[in-house]
Structure 1
Amino acid sequence: MQKGSSFSQKHPFIFGLTLIVAAVILFAGVTAAFRIGFSDDGFSSDTRLGLVRIEGMITDSEETTDWIRTLREDESIRGVLLRINSPGGAVAPSQEIARAVERLAQAKPVVVSMSTVAASGGYYAAAPADLIVANPSTLTGSIGVIMELSNLQELMDKIGVKRQSLTSGALKGAGSPFRPMTQKEREYLMGIVNDMHEQFVEAVAKGREMDIDAVRAIADGRALTGRQALELGLVDTLGGMEEAIEELKKLCEITEKVPLVEAPEKKSGWLRDILTSSININITSEGLNPGLVIH
């Protein structure tokens, strides 16, 4: 190699990799800048619709409620589509999402599009919307609360393990899996379940503008098809996501095609995306929220 060789000649691999990285960064920057003024279809983004997805078991609400608040405060967002495909989940996060949807609906139109299932906690989140669209075979409803507790006493006896506990009050150990439940404990825990169930019923009655006794009559945990829910007043019309978007545009008095803004975006680097897609690894953080759930 000659003495005056350039860096590209001395290190062709590193030089080539640097050019590829620079090109990717440049492309990403240009694309982001372009999307500030235009949608993917080339339409002005002065008027936009928002999209919120609620999928899977509801165990946490922070990411969803943060995005709902962002859409509520963005004046360029004329209305929001809430796409739900969830069987329910923990009570508190479902309740938090429902409150966020209620505040959003006070600011701009909100339409729900139900996918395969939007039951229990999934329906809780949908109730405050202006309009609910379900497929005829969507599973929804299931208005109820369940507390599941295990009793491991017989197993512990078989393996010869004894457990002792000291509590500060008679009900502090209620629900322990190591002994049978007393009648007093059962009444106490049932009171918690009933109170949360009543909160659920009240939220549905308020959101759907239904008589609370009419809601109580069907709030026995039963799941319903979209067509059955329509007959009972739990949904407004039948259709898929496309029909729901058209209903939202009507409420927003929009006739032209407008971009649909979806977030939060997956927080990951381009290199990680390439590696994980290449070796088919899904990097997630999943947790189980046991005990009191609505499903």
Structure 2
Amino acid sequence: MSDDSDGASLSRAQSYALVVAAAILLSAVLAPVAYDRATAPDGRVAVISVEGFISSSSVTAVQEDLREARENESIDAVVLNVDSPGGSAAASEQLYLAVQRTAQVMPVVASVKSTGASGAYYAMLPARDIYVTPASIVGSVGVRGAAPGPSLPGEIKSGPDKASTTADQRRAQIETLQRAFVGSVMKHRGDELGLSRTEVAHAKVYTGASAVDNGMADQIGSTPEAIDAAAEAADLEDYEVVRKEPPRAGGLILLSTDDGGTVVVEKSPAGYDAVDTPTFLMVYGEVQTTDEVIGNVSA
């Protein structure tokens, strides 16, 4: 009788040991899954680059990146990684509107690597914070446009105002764009600015350190610090960073410098320069055509 009892006890002990072993194995298998779930990021911060001359082609790519960020439920904030002297006034306005629309959906923070001037500064205005390095260049709140050119000799027009603009009309157009630019600066940064509207309209450029002092920028810091600020604004403690590569240069824009030097653009490929098509620029730096640059090099 005792032998049977001892055998039953041994059997129960063996069964218990098997259950414990199975539990240990199961916990070993499930533990990584549970750990992964416990450490999964709260969300993502998208870093979108704005680099080089702002043109219609480059803005289209950035607009698409911003649209994807707004519509992607896993993206909770955006950082604009800016290194641009500005560019076309029309393209800069389109970029400004795209940034503004994104800022209405999620936190947007701008980070200036080297240059964030003129049209690039315009585009950053809806951001909740603008981060700069001490030597960054920002500002240049202004608009430029070529004076009206003469008609081609013997040219026939369908109407007297076809492709015609007087110098006074061109100046009025530029002043209208300038008022809109300055007005946007005052709207978005008025509470922080230590500059008057007139001083802003003078279109000076400032180093990052000076810009923080006068309210044109918010913080001294690098892009990683801007990313941290965007994540904090989105209430993210643990997050991933998704980087969007800048679009490749295309269209008529060939080169732009980072230090406010010469901005090189291709001359009209149509070969009919007498058609007066005004192109207004929000760009910091001297603008030359490729023919002028080649001529200077040859000389």
TM-score, structure 1 length as denominator? 0.67
2:88 touches 2:119 (CA, 8 Å); kept in 1?
A: yes
Partner of 2:178: 197
Shift of 1:286: 3.9
- 1:109 and 2:107 aligned: yes
Describe how 1:174-189 pairs up with structure 2 within 5 A: 174=164, 185-189=166-170
Deviation string 1:39-64 (CA, Å, 9 cap, x unpaired) is xxxx7466111111000000122111
Question: Residue 142 of structure 2 is aligned with which of 141, 144, 150?
Answer: 144
1:86 touches 1:119 (CA, 8 Å); kept in 2?
A: yes
Task: State the distance in 1 between where 2:148 and 2:237 align.
Answer: 55
Task: State the distance in 2 between where 1:75 and 1:119 align.
Answer: 32
Shift of 1:215: 3.4
TM-score, structure 2 length as denominator? 0.66
- Structure 1, unaligned runs of 5 or more: 1-42, 154-161, 176-184, 267-282
1:127 touches 1:203 (CA, 8 Å); kept in 2?
A: yes
Partner of 1:75: 73
Shift of 1:207: 2.2
1:86 touches 1:117 (CA, 8 Å); kept in 2?
A: yes
Shift of 1:137: 0.8
Shift of 1:169: 4.8
Deviation string 1:193-225 (CA, Å, 9 cap, x unpaired) is 001111111222222244898234222221111
The sequence identity of aligned pairs, in percent, is 28
Task: State the distance in 2 between where 1:228 and 1:207 align.
Answer: 18
1:56 touches 1:87 (CA, 8 Å); kept in 2?
A: yes
Number of aligned pairs?
A: 219
1:201 touches 1:212 (CA, 8 Å); kept in 2?
A: no
Shift of 1:152: 8.4
User: Which residue identity is paired with 1:93?
Assistant: A
When the two chains are superposed, the root-mean-square deviation of aligned CA atoms in Å is 2.7
- Structure 2, unaligned runs of 5 or more: 1-38, 254-264, 268-278, 284-299
Task: State the distance in 1 between where 2:42 and 2:218 align.
Answer: 30
1:48 touches 1:78 (CA, 8 Å); kept in 2?
A: yes
**3-state SS in 2 of match to 1:197:** helix
Task: State the distance in 2 between where 1:52 and 1:59 align.
Answer: 16
Shift of 1:115: 0.8
- 1:164 and 2:154 aligned: yes
Task: State the distance in 2 between where 1:234 and 1:136 align.
Answer: 13
Partner of 1:129: 127
